[in-house]
Structure 1
């Protein structure tokens, strides 16, 4: 069996895989031996399977390359599940290799056995399973489906694929093992998507009759796409909208406040033409504005064939690589003059940015005020990995004050609070930039096993926003009125990150009042190795200060 896995390891290298995350186990021993012995593969040992899968996701997300992930049989495979779902909806390529018992031992009271076929359901692009025998026919089958799955993971839209591998004993090299035919690397060329002449003519015709145009970019990580989007918006007179996780230089960055406080002339902001691409949008006020706008013409550009319509307005689904779409249309000659529509948005943005500056400059102590001061001091080329719930909303509100070069990530595929820190660890290992992982105390406690490995890099900096529980439910009236609010919605807890930080060998500091902010941020930034900064606040004050930002002074 080991010789077959040696061929799999070589095939992975031939197809661009350079990093493998290995969860130690017995049933996957042959996989471990083959991968660790290959000189062109960098292997990471991570014991906690749930954390390991997010770790792999972070590596793949930051590097832009497919990453392999392997574990033993049984519930180990189930623990990959949350990150597999996240990778599917974020379109991150992963090759998941789960070792398994042969079929005759499943549901026979044998150890470490569960039903592993299609265990991730629709959350992988494809599932396949090797045959357990060592015949030449089964070797050819393993070669074929391995080629197919690794290719498929890297075809846009990218995503995870799952290969389940039943393995009989012995698990370790056997001199009597037969030789097998060499595995070929079957290359795949994906057809390029071209923009038809007819579509280009339609675009020009719409521009003539639709002076109010919005280009909306959802979550994406490609700086080249962001640059093309900016050029496109400027050339054709589009208002460029996007959240912090869109990683584009948006015209509007105060959308959370702007769309909650639209003036009476709200109809003036409604576009005639909406062009959208990318994945999710954080801002609920922006979502509601677009859903209620009754937009007549809405083109959505995407790589995949699934019809995605979060704003209930799509008129044209254009299956194309977004960069190819921009590049093709940027070649068009089109006379552009500044429109009142763009000026309307610019004036609104300036108004609400000034409003935010006035509010945030006050010497108040809360998490949003701390983060305002923190984002102004981060290096321009930093990477932010944000926890879900309130953390990503805080930073989204502050995106107008972030350097344009800052790359922002968040696990918004499923928007769970699990796995943020593990993903950030993987990201930090795939870049020379400083990676700041900012997350709430519940998210940190949930995922502190992310530090239970030997791969914590010096460029990882962790900020824990501790207000003794989650406050997202405190922002809405329904949960706060319930008797179960404190224990079952807010989930009040008194744990800190100090012990976990020391156990992992991280430098630990904390902030408990406004006077410490400037000094401790500076010390944290200057730490030579990985460090953890915990910011303690009162949850009720956090809620009050956040809501205060949305109140007008006039």
Structure 2
């Protein structure tokens, strides 16, 4: 099957699974895959298809259908000015709160701005008149496309109705051939499942609380920016579920919170024995690839999203999205939770043993010990790259602290300034841990005028003379270009930088000296020097030790 036919088939099928009853089509060439898919399901009696030769008339027909029924109507056209003729109806749908799902066919990116026939700029064509707009992207015959297409359609269907009904826009690029080629093969099944829409969206209305299926074999995942953490951690604890919390989710506390889920989920034998029946996600997860793999495999993945306009689903596995959920208490033994905790304790002890055996400063131990050393009520701001991942892998559960990171876009920008701003707003002690490149990127944040407040902030800079995270990625295997284009080594004297800004400076000489190094008041810099290659080797050793310890538990 050619990619254009495959994508159109799946898009139309998912619209039907979401509940589409009516579709309006204005004919054209580039939209042929969608037209043929709609015609096929019309012949099967699955949809009412309305065809109009004038796009303006077609769009207002769809508007009337959706306005009266209260249900989204799909509106399809070809590329070029055909899409522009939808604009008046889209504006009316926006102002009237009418749910329209506008699908404009487009030329692939390589034909744009070349003078190719019927090619105009259709990206975000309708501006602010749509609730949501996205470029679908030219389809490719590779695994993962079906999940992408289906989750995209169910997201669009949901956003056309909630939180406020209105139009959404999908711009779908198709490469030729545009009609079926007689080959029905594809690299993965095109079908959905028997449960309806890929992702079901539930808006918060009276009585609309989503009740999670009762089970002891559940898992609560808490990512960055999670809301109502205490409520749902308490519910998971009552249900006997393990809590897998990223540091900036601020849910790594209590008896159900794990420290080493990154290592546990990296073991196929552990994963095979610990397949959850339901996973509930709060916030935005994304630090650990093994954790994302757990979400990808989940049979039931429920995402709690206070704002339905944007819900986090990085692996496109969400089966339900809700603004409010209830996790039921289920009676029974605690074998499920006990098994997770036993493996977690074994992995954590093995990791601690490796870290404690090294007297020199290492990045994972620094992360672990810094969290343990902070007094209650403290704030820790961490860089969004390697420091927060170290915390995720080695941080032990504790209460009474707040961890923050710029994980929205996970960039390197402005971290010194963000840390200072957070410290100025915080009522207790404040600490920050940044890599050297993140620090250098925003060293101007240290410039504070004589009449401005200065924060009580210990700024810990991990100096491995370059981009440490790249040493843990596949790029590290490219020995010749690695240092030049990834490692980006430097020879900056951080003590001199501190002196230039009038900021007190200390050098952390040994791992055991951390508490003494971070002590003090006001803005201060603590430099911790490490080696990138040694750090990569240490992470491999930690993974090996944790896996061996868990294997001993599983075999025992």
Using the TM superposition, give the Cα deviation of residue 386 of structure 1 relative to its aligned residue in structure 2, in angstroms. 0.6
What TM-score does the superposition give when structure 1 sets the normalisation length?
0.58
Maintained 8 Å contact 1:218/1:276: yes
* Conserved? CA contact 1:417–1:443, under 8 Å: yes
CA distance in 1, matches of 2:471, 2:406: 22
2:391 is equivalent to residue 380 of structure 1: no
Provide the secondary structure at the position in 2 that maps to 1:408.
strand
Change (3 A) 1:315 1:477: closer
Of the three residues 395, 402, 409, the one matched with 1:407 is: 402
TM-aligned CA distance change 1:478 to 1:308, over 3 Å: same
CA contact (8 A) 1:233 1:240 kept: yes
Are 1:518 and 2:523 counterparts?
A: no
Q: Does the 8 A contact of 1:425 with 1:456 survive in 2?
A: no
1:354 and 2:349 equivalent?
yes
Cα offset, 1:499, TM superposition: 2.3
Q: Indicate the residue corresponding to 1:487 in structure 2.
A: 484
The TM-score, its normalising length taken from structure 2, stands at 0.57
Q: Which residue in the other structure is 2:244 paired with?
A: 241
- How far does residue 280 in structure 1 lie from its aligned partner after superposition? 3.1
The offset of 1:351, in angstroms, is 1.3
State the distance in 2 between where 1:537 and 1:473 align: 15
**How far 1:313 moved relative to its partner?**
2.2
Q: What CA distance in whole angstroms lies between the structure 2 residues aligned with 1:221 and 1:313? A: 18
Question: Do structure 1's residue 314 and structure 2's residue 307 form an aligned pair?
Answer: no
Distance (whole Å) between structure 2 residues aligned to residue 306 and residue 530 of structure 1: 37
Answer with 474-483 or 417-426: which moved more: 474-483
Give, in angstroms, the shift of residue 411 of structure 1. 0.8
Distance (whole Å) between structure 2 residues aligned to residue 246 and residue 336 of structure 1: 28
Q: How does 1:137-148 map to 2 (within 5 A)?
A: none
Aligned to 1:547: 540
Q: CA deviation at 1:498?
A: 1.7
Which residues of 2 match residues 404-443 of structure 1 at below 5 A?
404-443=399-438
Change (3 A) 1:456 1:276: same
Distance change (3 Å), C-alpha of 1:306 and 1:507: closer
- Indicate yes or no: 2:534 matched with 1:530: no
Q: Which runs of 5+ in 1 are unaligned?
A: 1-117, 127-155, 158-191
Shift of 1:539: 2.1
Structure 1's 195 and 266: CA in aligned 2 closer, same or farther, altered over 3 A? farther
2:266 to 260, 266, 271: 260
Q: Which of 502, 505, 515 is equivalent to 2:499?
A: 502
- Indicate if the aligned counterparts of 2:295 and 2:301 stay in contact, CA closer than 8 A: no
| Residues 264 and 270, structure 2, Cα contact 8 Å, conserved in 1 | no
CA shift in 2, pair 1:257/1:501, >3 Å: same
CA RMSD, aligned part only?
Answer: 2.9
Deviation at 1:508, TM superposition (A): 0.6
- Note the alpha carbon deviations across 1:475-531, whole angstroms, 9 max, x for none: 1343432421111100011113222222322111113x43xx434x34433312221
Counterpart of 1:108 in structure 2 is: none
- Unpaired segments ≥5 residues, structure 2: 1-123, 133-162, 165-202, 550-556
- Give the equivalent residue in structure 2 for 1:232: 235
**Offset of residue 337 of structure 1:** 2.9
The structure with higher relative contact order (CA 8 Å, sep 6+) is: 1
Distance 1:450 1:265, change over 3 A: closer
In the alignment, is residue 279 of structure 1 matched against residue 284 of structure 2? Answer: yes
Query: Residues of 2 paired with 1:237 and 1:369: CA distance?
Result: 30
Deviation, 1:445, is 0.5
Report how many residues are paired: 346
Residues of 2 paired with 1:499 and 1:453: CA distance?
Answer: 17
Which deviations, in whole Å up to 9, do the C-alpha atoms of 1:251-274 show, x marking residues without a partner?
222122111234x25322111112
Q: 1:289 to 1:298 in 2, by over 3 A?
A: closer
